[in-house]
Amino acid sequence: MTSTTSTTDLSIARILADGAAGHGRKAVVKGWVRTCRESKAGVVFVAVSDGSCFGTLQVVVPAECPDFEASRRLTTGCAVVARGELVPSQGKGQSVEMRAEGLELVGAVEDPDTYPIQPKPHSFEYLREVAHLRPRTNTFGAIGRVRHCLAMAIHRFFDRHGFFWIHTPIVTGSDCEGAGQMFKVSTLDLANLPRGADGRPDFAQDFFGKQTHLTVSGQLNVECWCLALSKVYTFGPTFRAENSNTSRHLAEFWMIEPEIAFADLRADADLAEALLKSIFKDLLEERGDDMRFFADRIDKTCIERLEKFIAASFERMDYAEAIRRLEEAERKGHKFDYPVTWGMDMQSEHERFLTEVLVGRPVVVMNYPKDIKAFYMRLNDDGRTVAAMDVLAPGIGEIIGGSQREERLDVLDRRIAEMGLDPAAYWWYRDLRRYGTVPHAGFGLGFERTIVYATGMANVRDVIPFPRTPRNADF
């Protein structure tokens, strides 16, 4: 009876928030044992977490409790239901605790010696190997709540500003998304592939009657809806089959891609800035408990960093200006592995120097040379740059990549031809420019990189529940 969920149960978050106001109240809490200590004075102290907040509730089991003997044998990880009265705590560190009248062991831990989550610090690398149990740790519990908070804050921001959430497809038949290697989606028998006259796999016999992939971006699709609903965004999983082995890359990650009509690059940058400020403000307000933990144990500066970010405006500079400042740094004696020249695609070392040393906070770099950017980015009047922007953040690099889109059909076609792409493949994308085209712009925000920036966690693999990376799709 007591071990099943009821919506009238008090969460530990609620109990701790109420604090002294809850003294004298009867309550039931359901959760997992973090630590269990026994005092020979005749009480057992059980720290219980239900994940509703960072903190644990101290459940005190007195000797006269019928479950006293059983509670002495509780170990880290046991699932329990505790009934009792909320009382002032006699110990330090909490204003309220539960004096247990009953404590039910719902699920025991088979062998406490080999339970993978011990009441002691673990390395993140180890915890990735026990990803099914790592949500029970302080860090990953906090990550889970922060991740949810940021996701909700993003939806809230867009909703308040009149954006519509568009569910762009996960499976795509476009072979023209152009953002790197894609995962194939097929129901064909790999051991017995149907082949056409040319000996190649015959995708006409495949599920969709053509070759399909997992999406690498919802941008091209969401542009269609932008040119009807004006302000739209996608927020969903994205897949890249790149063999990238870094702390900043996942094969499956989540991306937010707003797209706004009747907008230029400046409006695009304004939107990016407003979005990030809004969600970081919500994060500090709603998850102060978790953020204090990150500041305490992961990255001392993370709260201060977000506060500064909210207060200050983005540093914005043109690509040309960024190059000038990097060249100036070179003249003053800073050595780069790759020399700085106008027209180059900035290397990590340049981006890091720019955002970490020259600016000291996130910076928006705008108007890149056209030759290093995608075909759909709008050509500027100078004929050699496009209206593209990257938001670079210290320690992470590119957190946002965006642009004003090329809305002029003739210019778009020229760009497609220049890059050796097949215009026929883009027929519906080109149609947008034939029927009621308008200036529009958008960007992609990497969700995991945003969480890394906010929390100070060092690796995107540790801010997603189950990371997918090359040679790793366990759990």
Partner RNA sequence: UCCCCUGUAGCUCAAUGGUAGAGCGAGCGGCUGUUAACCGCUAGGUUACUGGUUCGAGUCCAGUCGGGGGAGCCA
Closer by beta carbon to RNA, 166 or else 392: 392
Least separation in angstroms between CB 392 and RNA: 9
Closer by beta carbon to RNA, 168 or else 206: 168
Q: Tell me which residue has tokens 């996608």.
A: 234
Contact in structure between 361 and 453 (CB atoms under 8 Å): no
Q: Which residues contact 223 (CB under 8 A, 6 or more apart)?
A: 259, 405, 429, 432, 440, 442
Least separation in angstroms between CB 342 and RNA: 16
Least separation in angstroms between CB 113 and RNA: 3
DSSP three-state, residue 234: strand
Least separation in angstroms between CB 35 and RNA: 6
Closer by beta carbon to RNA, 145 or else 373: 373
Contact in structure between 447 and 151 (CB atoms under 8 Å): yes
DSSP three-state, residue 463: coil
Closer by beta carbon to RNA, 230 or else 469: 469
Length of the chain: 475
Closer by beta carbon to RNA, 203 or else 255: 255
Closer by beta carbon to RNA, 92 or else 332: 92
Measure the CA–CA gap between 229 and 227, rounded to whole angstroms. 6
C-alpha 206: how far from its chain's center?
A: 34
Alpha helices in 39-169 (DSSP H): 68-72, 124-129, 138-160
Closer by beta carbon to RNA, 283 or else 452: 452
Least separation in angstroms between CB 165 and RNA: 18
Least separation in angstroms between CB 378 and RNA: 16
Closer by beta carbon to RNA, 388 or else 432: 388
**Residue among 378, 380, 441 nearest 409 (CA):** 378
Residue 356 in tokens: 């970490």
Q: Tell me which residue has tokens 């023209």.
A: 176
Q: Which letter, b or e, does each residue of 89-119 get, where b requires 16 or more Cβ atoms within 10 Å of its Cβ?
A: beeeeeebbbbbbebbbeeebeeeeebebee
Least separation in angstroms between CB 194 and RNA: 28
Least separation in angstroms between CB 95 and RNA: 10
**Residue among 154, 153, 152, 149 nearest 54 (CA):** 149
